[in-house]
Structure 1
Amino acid sequence: MTIWDLLADLYVATPSETEWGRISNEFKSLWNMPNCVGSIDGKHINITCPANSGSMYYNYKGNYSIVLLAVCDANYTFTCVDIGAYGSQSDGGVYHFSKLADAIENDRLGLPHDQPLPGETEPFPHYLVGDAAFPLRRYLMRPYPGRGIPEEQEYFNKRLSRARRVIENAFGILTAKWRILRTTLCMAPKNAEQIVKACIVLHNFIKLSCANYVASDFVDRYEEDATIAGSWRNEVVPLPSISRVSSNRGSSNNYDLRDALKTHLFNNKI
């Protein structure tokens, strides 16, 4: 794919440690999530049934699909993508077997060194925010499960959801601007992957080159304690998420980290 080959190294390159630091600062200033370096989610891209594929691409919506797993920064620019997983996998499964997870697990993503949360003294890791389909890790925060949970946990979930909606809006912009993704791609999975990659890199290229690509009212925004839906939601139906919940088998240290972030956010309400 010529478009990807020419532009990906410039517009979808893995951020450097300095760039991760900039992203972290923007998540703090724009979305009030300190040490956050990205929002992560996975979406189905519908395709026609591949020959001799059995149920590998068959998803819970009753369609055939490949999965787009992506991380974005605080301004709806995609920073890491993994495309092509079978539609039958859950978000957690897609993540577990992705190159992105492998890079983080083996410290190849270049995330900044741990640093204290604002006003704190103990070092805290930089992390992504995801929904309940993702595992709890020291570098990946997910919400507390259940209903009727304590006030501090409820507040943590609210703040995490606010930051996590950035990736939801990034996907909304992508689908609204690149209309081929609204359709079922009538092609082999490998060719569908190339189409998705082209849309991703062109999204980043135009967004970083054109100030008018995303109007302020096109994305969700917050006024006082209310969420104002972005106009993209009136134009397109959101891409289907992979909504099956992942097993939350984090280590005790991961639970402690989430609790520490929860306490910090609750003590520094916005």
Structure 2
Amino acid sequence: MFTSVDVSWPGSVHDSRIWRNPQTRSQLINKANLVLLGDDGYAIGPCLMTPFRNPTPGAEINYNKLLKQKRVIIECCFGQLKRRFPILQYVCRVKLENVPKIIIACIVLHNVAKILGDADFDLVEQDPDEDEGNHENGELPLRQLGQQIRRKYYNK
């Protein structure tokens, strides 16, 4: 579920620019026990953890792996949202001033669907040609085995 959304910035603005905005940053810095996870496009700060650049073997590499594992969660949430509402994947052909309203509406409906237990979009996105694999040379069974393994690790 999405708990905080800001649609007041145009899509071409980089996330790190939004983070540098004093109003955005101050709202989050003043929260106790809050740590945000960022990618290497951000500068590290008291409540913004970023990966090590050129990590040394051991703890720094392990930290980077853990950070990446946790950050992928939000990417999966965006993927679910876009699968549920394809208008968010493609060109939105409406007046520019209506785009933020559409985004908020999609997020609210997504959260309602989650609350109501709509599991249709909780699954790993399946390839459109999943059942049309090449049956020659045993490729279909190998593909199915690969998909099973991928689902096993995705659902951990």
CA contact (8 A) 1:130 1:164 kept: yes
Corresponding residue of 1:210: 117
Is 2:72 the counterpart of 1:165? Answer: yes
Q: Give the counterpart letter for 1:93 in structure 2.
A: R
Within the candidate set 83, 86, 94, 1:187 is matched to: 94
Is 1:140 aligned to residue 64 of structure 2? no
**Structure 2 CA distance for aligned equivalents of residues 139 and 173 of structure 1:** 27
Q: Which has the higher contact order (CA 8 A, sep 6+)?
A: 1
Alignment CA distance shift 1:181-1:98 (3 Å): farther
Q: CA RMSD in A?
A: 2.2
1:205 Cα deviation after fit: 1.1
Bigger radius of gyration among the two: 2
Aligned residues: 128
| Structure 1 residues without counterparts, runs of 5 or longer | 1-76, 114-124, 219-229, 236-270
Displaced runs of 4+ in structure 1, greater than 3 A? none
1:174 maps to 2:81: yes
The answer to whether 1:79 aligns with 2:3 is: yes
Secondary structure of 1:175 counterpart = helix
CA spacing shift, 1:153–1:99, aligned 2, 3 Å: same
Who is 2:131 aligned against? none
2:125 equivalent among 225, 231, 238: 231
Post-superposition shift, 1:98? 7.4
Give the match's secondary structure for 2:6.
Answer: strand
Greater share of helix: 2
Could you report, residue by residue, the CA deviation over 1:185-237 in whole angstroms, capped at 9, with x for unpaired residues? 1233321111101011111111012252444xx2xxxxxxxxxxx326x36xx
Taking structure 1 as reference, are residues 205 and 99 closer, same or farther at Cα in structure 2, changes over 3 Å only?
farther
Cα 1:211–1:175 change in 2 (3 A) is closer
Q: CA deviation at 1:163?
A: 0.6
User: What residue in structure 1 maps to residue 145 of structure 2?
Assistant: none
CA distance in 1, matches of 2:99, 2:52: 35
Report % sequence identity. Answer: 27
How high is the TM-score relative to the length of structure 1?
A: 0.43
Residue equivalent to 1:240: none
